[in-house]
Amino acid sequence: MFRFAHPQYLWLLAAVPAFVVLFWLAARSRRRRLARFGCEATLRELMPEVSSGRIALKFILFCTAFALLALAAARPQFGSKLREEKAQGIEMMLAVDVSNSMLAEDFEPNRLERTKYAIGKLFDGLRQDRVGLVVFAGEPKVQLPITSDYRMARAFARRIDPSLVTVQGTAVGKALEQSLLAFSGNTEEARSRVIVLITDGENHDDDALAVARRAAEMGVRIYTVGIGTPEGAPIRIGGDFIKDEKGDMVVSKLNEKMLAEIADLTGGVYVRSTKQSIGLDEIVRSINEMEQSELSTVRFEEYDEQYRGLLAAAFVLLLLEFFLLDRRNPLLARFNIFNEKLKMKN
């Protein structure tokens, strides 16, 4: 299958007929000016070094090179291939709490929106690392498998929403367990794998510390980010505040104790978010100091680039056009072997 990656550049080929018209007009104007001085045969004898054929050849070389450059800019592609990329980096799974408590407004506009913004900034600080995304409430869900495509990761991060998980609650342990399972099998170095847990720490459903101990045995570090305030804030959904069975307003508070213990068990770091910074920048700096492993990624490229040959041909033609003189070389004209043979016969 054949295609052009940027077909809009093919419009440049429309300039070639325009060049031809301009060249013809210039040549006709030149012939008219020369005709004022005498007939063409006489002028050719008076100016033997002038070569109209060379001028036409230079023009043809230029037009051909221009057309090849236009085709190269359009990036013709043909066939398919697999390409393996290797780089030094780490694998990072982001486990993001999307329970209703993340809608508390002690961070503007709320905890979850601030988290999404910080995740987008986090990807700006990554280079050759691979990332994945797990969202969780009462149950975890792999929102994005491990990948090195940061553009795709940003797109998925922007779509984080409580509606992604149907079961409400905050099961931190299940989220950590799902994150451990979501790592790829392309690196044998567990020390180059980290989990970044972003939550308010209100764990209701399981033993997160037990999963943290298992992660520590596997050599996986867990960095925890506590988002919220110890004083807490009410939770607003659809303009109404959530209330408990007694009719009292539910206030979601930050639980720092559990998050600090998880980070300490695995050799990670606990960071408490502030209204100025979520804290992911500090975690990225710490992660960049970790020992990195060789990550291998196989990319499928549906099309193979063909523009290199066109560029090479255009370059050769431009060189020929540059070194080809408009006039015959007077030094070489003295060595006209055909004229010498005619003289010898006479």
Q: What is the CATH number of the domain that holds 278?
A: 3.40.50.410
* Residues 139 and 44 reside in one and the same domain: no
The residue from 299, 315, 331 where one domain ends is: 299
The answer to whether residues 169 and 317 belong to one domain is no
Same domain, 151 and 236: yes
Say yes or no: 267 and 158 in one domain. Answer: yes
What integer pLDDT is reported at residue 18 of this predicted model? 93
- CA-nearest of 222, 225, 229, 227 to 271 is 225
> Are 284 and 311 members of one domain?
no
Cβ(201)–Cβ(255) under 8 Å? Answer: yes
- The rounded distance, in Å, linking the Cα atoms of 311 and 90 is 38
Task: Quote the CA–CA distance of 334 and 319 in Å, as a whole number.
Answer: 26
Same domain (yes/no): 114, 205: yes
**137 and 153 assigned to the same domain:** yes
Task: Please indicate, yes or no, whether residues 106 and 238 belong to a single structural domain of this protein.
Answer: yes
So what's the pLDDT on residue 224?
94
> 254 and 188, same structural domain?
yes
The answer to whether residues 136 and 34 belong to one domain is no
Secondary structure of residue 158 in the 3-state scheme: helix
pLDDT of residue 227: 92
Hey, what amino acid is at 69? L
Rounded to 5 degrees, φ, ψ at 345 are: -70, -35
Into how many domains does the chain fold? 2
**Chosen domain end from 265, 281, 299:** 299
Residues 169 and 324: their CA atoms lie apart, in Å, by 79
Contact 90, 192 (CB under 8 A): yes
Whether residues 115 and 191 fall in one domain: yes
For residue 84, the model assigns a pLDDT of 56
Beginning with the edge strand found earlier in the chain, give each strand of the sheet holding 221-226 in spatial order: 140-147, 130-136, 91-97, 193-199, 221-226, 270-272
Per-residue pLDDT of the chain (346 residues; tens, 9 = 90+): 677 888 899 999 999 999 999 989 988 887 777 666 666 666 565 555 556 677 888 899 999 999 999 999 998 887 655 555 666 678 899 999 999 999 998 888 899 999 998 898 888 777 778 899 999 999 999 999 988 888 889 999 999 999 999 888 889 999 999 999 998 765 555 568 999 999 988 776 668 999 999 999 999 999 999 998 888 888 888 778 888 778 888 888 888 999 999 999 999 999 998 877 888 888 888 877 775 655 555 454 556 778 888 999 999 999 988 887 765 555 545 555 444 444 454 5
Check if the beta carbon of residue 99 is closer than 8 Å to that of residue 138.
Answer: yes
Q: Of 299, 318, 334, which residue constitutes the final position of a domain?
A: 299
Could you tell me if 170 and 190 lie in one domain? Answer: yes
Per the structure, the complete domain to which residue 324 belongs is given by: 2-79+304-345
